[in-house]
Amino acid sequence: MKIGVLGTGQVGQVLGASLVGLGYEVMIGSRDPNSQKVKDWVAHAAGGSSAGTFEEAAAFGQIIILATQWAGTANAIELAGAANFAGKIVIDVTNPLKDGPNGPELAIGFSDSGGETVQRLLPAAKVVKAWNHVPAALMVSPHLLGETADMFICGNDAAAKQKVTIILKAFGCPVIDLGGIEQARLTEALTGLWIRYMVISGNWQHAFKLIRKD
């Protein structure tokens, strides 16, 4: 299975390398695929990894992971070419953040979300919001803090969510499906809570667990 990862930040690098570790072929996409950062990632991720432009990575992936800075996400999608997403699963890891007086804060919420925005930008794709509310390291090692972090996902296509769940479970993530893509308003709000706790605690390694009977 080929996965295109759009984004060369912490998330793109961690998810990309870890997916190579699971046996996937991964092409990471960047505006500058020849940068030293990208070359270093390919050397680190090793067998099964490659790099290209956003367009090349989107065309390569049978599944596409969107891991771009929110302010550049629409541009990254435009550079990648909407046609390269058509009919594919797009795992949206982004958070619609802007700079606030006390650090990053949500730019939208309540009546819209980043997940819905991405689905509107890519109407022919099956967008699944996942992984956005945990730090990159926990996306692939949910047990890192002693207890296992829950992963909330949402999206409109049930089969797409099942395929994404298989990937998440391969990393040991317990998955809670919240429903349609509009539920990204909640999973992105969790990021707001995650950031607020980081601001007041000075610690950025924390995650969420739903205490429940089932």
Ligand X SMILES: NC(=O)c1ccc[n+]([C@@H]2O[C@H](COP(=O)([O-])OP(=O)(O)OC[C@H]3O[C@@H](n4cnc5c(N)ncnc54)[C@H](OP(=O)(O)O)[C@@H]3O)[C@@H](O)[C@H]2O)c1
CB of 30 closer than 8 Å to CB of 5:
no
CB of 144 closer than 8 Å to CB of 105:
no
Region binding ligand X by CB under 6 A among candidate stretches 83-91, 92-100, 153-161, 176-184: 92-100
CB of 205 closer than 8 Å to CB of 135:
yes
Q: Which two tokens stand for residue 121?
A: 């930008």
Note whether 69 binds ligand X by CB under 6 A: yes
Note whether 41 binds ligand X by CB under 6 A: no
C-beta neighbour count of 125 within 10 angstroms: 23
Contacts with ligand X by CB under 6 A: the residue count is 23
Least spacing, CB of residue 109 vs ligand X, in Å: 14
Note whether 31 binds ligand X by CB under 6 A: yes
Q: At what angle do helices 114-121 and 70-80 cross, to 10 degrees?
A: 20
Note whether 7 binds ligand X by CB under 6 A: yes
Place of tokens 């982004």: 94
Least spacing, CB of residue 111 vs ligand X, in Å: 20
Binding site for ligand X (CB under 6 A): 7-12, 30-32, 67-70, 72, 75-76, 93-95, 97, 132, 135-136
